[in-house]
Amino acid sequence: MTSSAEWQTTACILCSINCGLQVQVEDGHLKKIKGDKNNPRSRGYTCEKPARLDHYQNHQDRLTSPLRRRADGSFEAISWDTAIEEVASKLAAIRDTHGGEKIFYYGGGGQGNHLGGAYSGATRRALGMRYASNALAQEKTGEFWVERQMFGGRPEPDFEHAEVSVFVGKNPWQSHGFERARVVLKQIAKDPERSMIVIDPRRTETAELADVFLQVIPGMDAFVLAAMLAVLVQEDLIDRDFLSARAGDGQALFDVLAAVPVADYCARAGVAEALVRRAAEMIAGAGSVAVVEDLGIEMAPHSTLNSYLQKLLYTLTGNFGRAGTMNLGTHLAQLIGSSKDNRTSPVGGHRIITGLIPCNVVADEILTDHPDRFRAMIIESGNPVHSLADSPRMREALEALELVVVIDVAITETTQYADYILPGASQYEKIEATFFGGGFPDNVFQLRQPLFEPLGDTLPEPEIHSRLCRALGAYNDEDLTILREAAAESREKFALTFLETMASQPKLAAIMPVVLYETLGRTLGEGQAPAALIWGACQTLANSEPDSVRRAGFEGEGPALGDALFDAILSRPEGVLITSDPYEVTFDRIHTDDGRIELLIPELLQELSDLIDEAPPASNDAFPFVLAAGERRTSTANTIYRDPNWRKKDRSGSLRISPGDAERIGVETGGRVRVTTKRGTAIAIVEVNDSLRDGHVTLPNGYGVAYPDENGVRVVHGIAPNELTSSEDRDWIAGTPWHKHVRARVEALG
């Protein structure tokens, strides 16, 4: 495992696509990296970013031992036994004094590490914790909320086969979001039978390839989307046969859209009416249309409404349940909480969507005298100080807590505020997987094998959670004897015993992941125990979607079908086709109350209706620019790349500004400006860039990370976007922040 000139199989962990990789390792380093042609999803594809993955695996900020904060704020190394015992007893004390629901969980994984978060469920239940959040709750929860109501599932776009592809606030050239994105984009651009529509305030790399590019004024996406839908209704271009067969009543929606003044909305959005009409007619006239949105509209005004309108574009035109359109696939494991979770946050009463409290209210749920405030936090594979809006307030919130426990691979902006740091093995030092998955008609899952031994005294997160649960008294060896004996006898015997135990012993059912880990997991071979949870997921999938699993080539009845799937996942580290579906299965997966697509969401219908009276954005002399805080570029990745040397260009993360604005404020490329928002100020280096509209400036994501220089002094490289954002600027339904629409002032410095 330590050194080999042989190619080994793994995956990129820098975005949700997790392209398959082949790597050569030497002396603890990733020496050679290339796309894995055997990966059934990515088929050899990568972008340029994974070539530098050794900067993730090896850097100065890797943690190597459990750490405990001293009274003076410094940290001391402690043993795992001490760390587990003290963390468990302090968390238990908070539970016993204030209630387990006062301990808040944040994180659970990044782009390629979801096994640890899956095991955290056991620790959380052992402590009686009820509330959680992660970065999805500042990006996707508005979209989830809409999808739950319209479809009861999450439709996936089929861009490989779409005649018309639509990207709304999305630049897949840089942010990917679907397999082999750049290959697919280039194929669409070259094919005269296919076309592309892009709605974005910036002329992105994707927009450069588009047939129709609607360069919307930042924050006015809802107006351009409403105008497109209005054209469909007013010109009677909707697919009435599809809607009458598959959807519920939509008359109230059609009435609102019939009244939309298309020309006025286009003018307000800053796009040519003729182009908007052309885009709508292209969608209506195409044999197949696939649509995707991203942070450009999700982190902007009318965020959740934007998601609703985007989905109506393909629904009203019948682009659903066919090749090249939108389809509902399978999932080996659900990454997000229950879609039926209708709770609200304990202090502010904010809507909890798919189990997640809005990120933007986390600090508010701590910094208060309210008796239900959070008192402690477990933060796992997350960096809320850097990634959530209003970093200064997040720091204040962490300081106000009675206990902060961080589980992570590296020192981060958040570990500085921990009372205990429990060091995880890196994503290449343990068996690991992502549950982002998806894929339709074929769905693939990859369980990655470790490439290296865990560094120093680090542990895989499933082992950390197992130890915490034991220390909390959630189980002991005696509890597991029957299951261990069954696992040693046969998988069949284990399956039966496991089901009986889960049904009869709620105490063990509550910590099911750890029970699997400590029983079946211990029979799977060295380092393989975390895969035990995947066995459970395989059984669930084989039980709920047996035909889909069989179409992927697996045989067996009952638990044997799940076992066949699990064995294939264990034995094929390059990834396995787990389900395969005909397109019409999509309609069986609409899980609304009546099995039909819901067209009417009352809150959003009202917001759509109210657009007509919305005052135009007022000129703002104090903050005349709109800053997009967190643009994806070639030089950006998430902050698991802590060493700034991974970047070859744009080390400081320049502020992009239009030529007109640059001239007006008197700055050139390479010049310095002060960026000021109502929350903070920063000095940036300028890049004059003609892809932007006047009045629009952008800063990249992933910058503003502190890293030791050659003298060991921690130096911040670039601007951390959330030093400039405010938590109160958020969507009224989902609480998603307006990071793409931050009012700012930009002044040239001499």
DSSP per residue over 459-492, as a string?
B-HHHHHHHHHHHTTS--HHHHHHHHHHHHH-HH
Least separation in angstroms between CB 451 and ligand SF4: 16
Which residues, other chains included, contact 712 with Cβ-Cβ below 8 Å and sequence gap of 6+? none
Radius of gyration from C-alpha coordinates of the chain: 26
Q: Cα 746–748–750 angle (5° rounding)? A: 155
Instruction: For 334, list phi and psi in degrees, rounded to 5.
Output: -80, 125
**Could you tell me which of 428, 413, 437 has the C-alpha nearest to residue 334?**
437
CA atoms within 13 A on the CB side of 511: 27
Least separation in angstroms between CB 641 and ligand SF4: 11
- Looking at residue 523, the DSSP 8-state letter turns out to be G
Q: Token match 């959380």: residue? A: 124
- Looking at residue 131, the DSSP 8-state letter turns out to be E
Closest to ligand SF4 by CB, 536 or 700: 700
Closest to ligand SF4 by CB, 188 or 538: 188
Dihedral sign from CA coordinates of 326, 331, 106, 408: negative
**Could you tell me which of 361, 415, 416 has the C-alpha nearest to residue 393?**
361
Least separation in angstroms between CB 177 and ligand SF4: 9
Give the rounded distance of the alpha carbon of 363 from its chain centre: 20
Separation between Cα atoms, residue 445 and residue 39, nearest integer Å:
10
Least separation in angstroms between CB 337 and ligand SF4: 25
Least separation in angstroms between CB 19 and ligand SF4: 3
Closest to ligand SF4 by CB, 423 or 700: 700
Least separation in angstroms between CB 541 and ligand SF4: 23
Closest to ligand SF4 by CB, 47 or 533: 47
Least separation in angstroms between CB 25 and ligand SF4: 18
Terminal CA-CA length for the chain: 54
Closest to ligand SF4 by CB, 409 or 542: 409
Least separation in angstroms between CB 14 and ligand SF4: 4
Give the number of other CB atoms < 10 A from CB of residue 361. Answer: 22
Least separation in angstroms between CB 12 and ligand SF4: 3
Closest to ligand SF4 by CB, 15 or 94: 15
Closest to ligand SF4 by CB, 33 or 422: 33
Closest to ligand SF4 by CB, 432 or 463: 432
Closest to ligand SF4 by CB, 268 or 642: 642
Separation between Cα atoms, residue 715 and residue 675, nearest integer Å:
20
Q: Which residues bind ligand SF4 (CB under 6 A)?
A: 12, 14-15, 17-19, 46-47, 49-50, 176
Closest to ligand SF4 by CB, 176 or 642: 176
Q: Cα 29–411–374 angle (5° rounding)? A: 140
Least separation in angstroms between CB 139 and ligand SF4: 16
Our CA dihedral for 485, 491, 493, 498, rounded to 10 degrees, sits at: 80
- The answer to whether residues 450 and 429 touch, using CB atoms and an 8 Å cutoff, is yes
Closest to ligand SF4 by CB, 204 or 586: 204
Q: Cα 418–116–641 angle (5° rounding)? A: 65
- Looking at residue 183, the DSSP 8-state letter turns out to be H
Closest to ligand SF4 by CB, 46 or 304: 46
Q: Token match 């600090």: residue? A: 363
Angle between helix 532-544 and 559-571 (nearest 10): 130
Separation between Cα atoms, residue 415 and residue 417, nearest integer Å:
5
Closest to ligand SF4 by CB, 176 or 465: 176
Collapsed DSSP state (helix, strand, coil) of residue 228: helix
Closest to ligand SF4 by CB, 173 or 554: 173
- Residue 686 to residues 405, 633, 654, Cα–Cα distance (Å): 39, 15, 5
Least separation in angstroms between CB 575 and ligand SF4: 13
Least separation in angstroms between CB 369 and ligand SF4: 44
- The answer to whether residues 540 and 330 touch, using CB atoms and an 8 Å cutoff, is no
Which residues, other chains included, contact 544 with Cβ-Cβ below 8 Å and sequence gap of 6+? none
Amino acid sitting at position 539: Q
Least separation in angstroms between CB 46 and ligand SF4: 4
Least separation in angstroms between CB 639 and ligand SF4: 14
Which residues, other chains included, contact 735 with Cβ-Cβ below 8 Å and sequence gap of 6+? 137, 141, 350, 351, 358, 359, 360, 361
